[in-house]
Structure 1
Amino acid sequence: MTLAIGQPVPDFTATATGDTTVSLADLKGRQVVVFFYPKASTPGCTTEGGDFRDRKADFDTVDTVILGVSRDGIRAQENFKAKQAFNFELISDKDEEVCKLFDVIKLKKLYGKEHLGIERSTFLIDAEGKLAREWRGVKVKGHAQEVLEAAQALHAEG
């Protein structure tokens, strides 16, 4: 199944930091940014998370929830969140259910070896639960700002 712009995103429920369970259905009426990153506490992921953290107040003004997702266990996610003072929840997707829903598991090459991993990707879901924008193969620099501007534009339309 491939998600398409303008189509409803199927509901998902996942274990998240702060001893919470995140369900997309519970967030209806708000915009949602779901960003997928390869691994907690690695340099690129730390920078990306920090960029979202530093813009959270701006996302809040346009009623947009930020969620980070990786295949790390909940303990690794809690440590990552605490260490970086992230002000949003991180989803532990060990069984890759959410990753598969958004089709972000890709064949990657590292040191000449191929493995399946998360392609850094971000999705913006509108207040009705439909996919509004997607970014795949994300480069970290400037990305959170671009997503913020898209969220602001979407909010202004609504």
Structure 2
Amino acid sequence: MTSALDIVDGEVRELVRRRSLDPVREPDVARRLVEEVVADYQDRAMVSALPALPDPRGTAQSIFDQVAGFGPLQPLLDDPVVEEIWINDPGRVFVARRGRSELTTVILTTAEVADLVERMLRVSGRRLDLSSPFVDAQLKARYINEI
């Protein structure tokens, strides 16, 4: 059975495509779109067999982070205490806070890592390929704070 989050995520992504919206360049428009889709879904779920959204606000933030940000890493990027994030393995995402390394509870899939790396490299101007299998890049503050 498809989850409420999956349904809302699919509806948001379809509307982003139809409207040719660039969520990274137009985060305010994207946020309003996500909020409208979540509200519409809640209305429909009350009078149909659609699964309920247990946390509409959290759902909206999660979907916004997926389409306009860096998905599961976005809360870490938004945390002003996090100085650095690195991924050693999809299940081993680390951060540095106040100069100390710690393993996070973030667990990614291989596909999510590939997608995140591609999106981050696009805005950083760096590249990753067989001749350079490791990459170290710093995102510009505007990409972190606007998302």
The two structures share one fold, judged by TM-score above 0.5: no
**Larger strand percent:** 1
The structure with more helix, counted as a fraction of residues? 2
TM-score with structure 2 length normalisation? Answer: 0.32
Say which one has the larger Rg: 2
| Larger RCO (alpha carbons 8 Å, 6+ apart) | 1
